[in-house]
């Protein structure tokens, strides 16, 4: 019978068994990286963030107290890593923007009527709504697990998920006219921004 | 679009991504990297330990020599064992270093 995550964590803690930790990695790395990819929207740093998160988890496995699920603990580490990376990227981008400000015109592309896919629609959500929605709807976390992973109150996570869904619905619904409401319409697979 | 439909789209998208990631060698690379970090850590500990043991042995040697001299004054001598004080000091330090290494290894 396959061992549960908690069994493997205790095995890894008690014996410093890298085999047990490797099994935990095998179980969770793919969804973790998929989550990070949809959260960040680019491939560039996903594997680095995931690798750093898992190395930190390996080093800190002794601190896992078992109050929540292992996956929410792991995703919490990854989410913090993502935020740190984002802050670094933003700082670099600000420096780059300042240098290029006098050389280039600001982007003028209209977001209206632009064809979108799921990825783009997700990236239009505020970060916390995107993360909460991905965890609850895509990864399959409970609200409590998502709250633990995001380090946020349960009520906030619930409202982020709800707001994210509403915004996604609006973005993914096809336009039927300039003034038409999208409420109640189903997506036909072609995705549009409003 | 209902919440369930939206969740299903997101779930399918993430599952497809996860399937592509499942067996791409990431886990194997990670394990190699963790093992490499352990080897580097063990190497650093070893170098620091050898250096520390050398310094400590030099100090111990002095202590052993003075202790040996005072024992000889009192008519006692441990040098009947056939080992010099330097070797005795080194053995004690080596034992301490090995014990420390075992503890560190168990602690991870």
What are the residue boundaries of the structural domains of chain B, listed by start? 3-107
Q: Which residue has the tokens 């380090």?
A: A151
What domains appear along chain A, each with residue ranges and CATH number? 1-108 (1.10.1740.10), 111-194 (1.10.10.10)
> Quick check: A34 and B18 CB within 8 A?
yes
pLDDT, residue B80, reads 55
pLDDT, residue B54, reads 74
Q: How many CB atoms lie within 10 A of CB B9?
A: 20
Q: Which residue of A has its CA nearest to B31?
A: A22
Rounded Cα distance, B79 and A194, in Å: 92
pLDDT, residue A84, reads 93
Q: What is the pLDDT of residues A33-77, one digit of tens each?
A: 999 999 998 888 899 999 999 999 998 888 888 778 999 999 999
Say if A14 is an interface residue toward chain B (CB within 8 Å).
no
Residue B65 host element (H or E): helix B26-73
Q: What is the pLDDT of residues B64-102, one digit of tens each?
A: 677 667 766 665 555 555 666 667 777 777 787 787 777
Q: Of A88, A89, A164, which is closest to residue A126 (Cα–Cα)?
A: A164
Rounded Cα distance, B102 and B88, in Å: 21
pLDDT, residue B76, reads 56
pLDDT, residue A131, reads 95
Instruction: Identify which has the larger pLDDT, A113 or B3.
Output: B3
8 A C-beta contact, residue A165 and residue A122: no
Helix residue ranges per DSSP H, chain A: 5-15, 18-40, 46-60, 70-100, 118-123, 127-133, 143-150, 154-172
pLDDT, residue A153, reads 96
Q: What is the pLDDT of residues A31-40, one digit of tens each?
A: 999 999 999 9
pLDDT at B50 over 60: yes
Helix (H, G, I), strand (E, B) or coil at A192: strand
Rounded-to-10 torsion of CA B35, B38, B43, B44: 150
Q: What is the pLDDT of residues B12-28, one digit of tens each?
A: 999 999 999 988 888 88
Rounded Cα distance, A144 and A132, in Å: 11
pLDDT at A178 over 70: no
Q: Which residues does B contribute to its contact with A (CB < 8 Å)?
A: 1, 3, 5-7, 9-11, 13-15, 17-19, 21-22, 26-27, 29-31, 33-35, 37, 106, 108
What is the predicted ipTM? 0.74
Instruction: Identify which has the larger pLDDT, A23 or A2.
Output: A23
Rounded Cα distance, A22 and A12, in Å: 9
pLDDT, residue B79, reads 55
Rounded Cα distance, A166 and A169, in Å: 5
pLDDT at A193 over 80: no
8 A C-beta contact, residue B67 and residue B76: no
State the distance between the two ends of chain A, measured CA to CA, in whole angstroms: 50
pLDDT, residue B97, reads 79
Mean pLDDT of chain B: 77
> Quick check: A169 and B1 CB within 8 A?
yes
Mean pLDDT of chain A: 81
Q: What is the pLDDT of residues A79-126, one digit of tens each?
A: 999 999 989 888 888 887 766 665 544 443 333 333 457 888 889 999
8 A C-beta contact, residue A141 and residue B11: no
CB < 8 Å & 24+ apart, contacts of A177-186: A185/B1, A186/B1, A186/B5
Instruction: Identify which has the larger pLDDT, B53 or A4.
Output: A4
Nearest 5°: phi and psi at A152? -130, 160
Q: Of A12, A40, A14, which is closest to residue A26 (Cα–Cα)?
A: A12
């Amino acid at each position: 019978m396959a061992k549960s995550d908690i069994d493997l964590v205790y095995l890894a803690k008690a014996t410093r068994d890298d085999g047990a930790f490797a099994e935990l990695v095998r179980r969770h790395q793919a969804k973790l990286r998929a989550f990070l990819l949809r959260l960040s929207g680019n491939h560039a740093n996903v594997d680095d963030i995931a690798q750093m998160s898992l190395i930190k988890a390996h080093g800190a496995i002794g601190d896992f107290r078992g109050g929540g699920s292992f996956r929410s603990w792991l995703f919490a580490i990854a989410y913090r890593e993502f935020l740190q990376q984002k802050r670094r990227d933003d700082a670099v981008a600000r420096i780059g923007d300042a240098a290029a400000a006098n050389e280039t015109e600001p982007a003028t592309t209209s977001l209206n009527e632009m064809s979108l896919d799921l990825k783009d629609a997700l990236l239009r959500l505020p970060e916390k709504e995107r993360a909460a929605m991905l965890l609850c709807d895509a990864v399959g976390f409970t609200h409590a697990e998502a709250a633990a992973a995001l380090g946020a109150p349960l009520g906030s996570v619930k409202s982020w998920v709800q707001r994210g869904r509403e915004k996604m619905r609006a973005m993914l619904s096809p336009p039927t006219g300039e003034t038409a409401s999208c409420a109640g319409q189903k997506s036909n697979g072609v995705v549009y921004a409003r | 679009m209902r919440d369930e439909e939206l969740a299903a789209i997101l779930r399918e998208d993430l599952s497809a991504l996860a399937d592509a990631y499942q067996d791409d060698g990431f886990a194997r690379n990670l394990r190699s990297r963790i093992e490499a970090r352990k080897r580097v850590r063990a190497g650093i500990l070893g170098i620091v330990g050898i250096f520390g043991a050398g310094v400590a042995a030099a100090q111990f040697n002095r202590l052993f020599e003075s202790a040996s001299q005072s024992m000889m004054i009192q008519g006692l001598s441990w040098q009947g064992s056939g080992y010099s004080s330097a070797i005795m000091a080194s053995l004690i330090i080596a034992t301490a270093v090995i014990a420390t290494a075992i503890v560190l290894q168990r602690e991870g």
